[in-house]
Amino acid sequence: MGALGSGFMEGFLKSWGVILASEIGDKTFFIAAIMAMRHSRKLVFAGAIGALAAMTVLSAALGWAAPNLISKKWTHYGATLLFFFFGARMIYEAITDAHANDNELEEVERELGDKSTKSGREGSDGKVGAAHHPALSPLRRLVSPVLLESFTLTFLAEWGDRSQIATIGLAAAADVFGVTLGGILGHAMCTGAAVLGGKHLAEHIHERMVAYFGGALFLIFGAHSLWSGVPE
């Protein structure tokens, strides 16, 4: 029981820390922040955390299945290499790109602005609605369009993101339930901060310091994984 509890807490804390270190100032963070400035915070949060929770469960399931398909030794050292790779890359990006945070914010604002312009143009032409999208009509009646947009944009932005890859690697080497719950809690905290004032918060956070901290955390996890060896 003690070993099980220890494994759960290790997976939980690692996953929680990785998400906090990699998601503050990330694309999904700004999507939630900007949408919350235009729409209901509750709907934006619900859509975003729904997408992130689904992605976390999917990623953890992939990581859990990996040792059953590939040798546990290879999955362990593969996860270790991922930690070192992402840690080194985050520190490298912090050194070389002083305006990464501004670029991320500008990209999200541009994408959401283009989407709003397109929606407005189609609406003025009378082409949006149940008549134009009959397949979406029942879904739109059941689910808020804002919640649906928040879910879709967040899910697509998170796909292939470093936090998703890190979650897969963690679940392959640590307790899958701990990794899943820690990841969801981390996402909930980051998304909550984003919808409550993410843009203002981002303007007062030094993105380079966050990247340095996140990179160091990844490197520490990589070193710990290498030192602890392949789990029994």
Q: Is residue 178 very low, low, confident or very high in pLDDT (cuts 50, 70, 90)?
A: very high
Residue 232 within a domain: no
**Which among 198, 189, 178, 205 has a CA at the least distance from the CA of 14?**
178
Residue 23 within a domain: yes
Residue 1 within a domain: no
pTM for this one? 0.71
Check pLDDT > 60 for residue 207: yes
Cα 56–chain centre separation: 8
Q: Is residue 45 very low, low, confident or very high in pLDDT (cuts 50, 70, 90)?
A: very high
Q: Is residue 123 very low, low, confident or very high in pLDDT (cuts 50, 70, 90)?
A: very low
Residue 34 within a domain: yes
Cα maximum dimension of the chain: 64
The parent domain of residue 15 ranges over: 6-123+133-227
> And the tokens for 110?
């541009």
- Structurally, the chain folds into a number of domains equal to 1
Contacts of 227 (CB under 8 A, 6+ apart): none
Q: For 139-162, write each residue's pLDDT tens digit.
A: 555 678 889 999 999 998 888 788
State which amino acid sits at residue 28: T
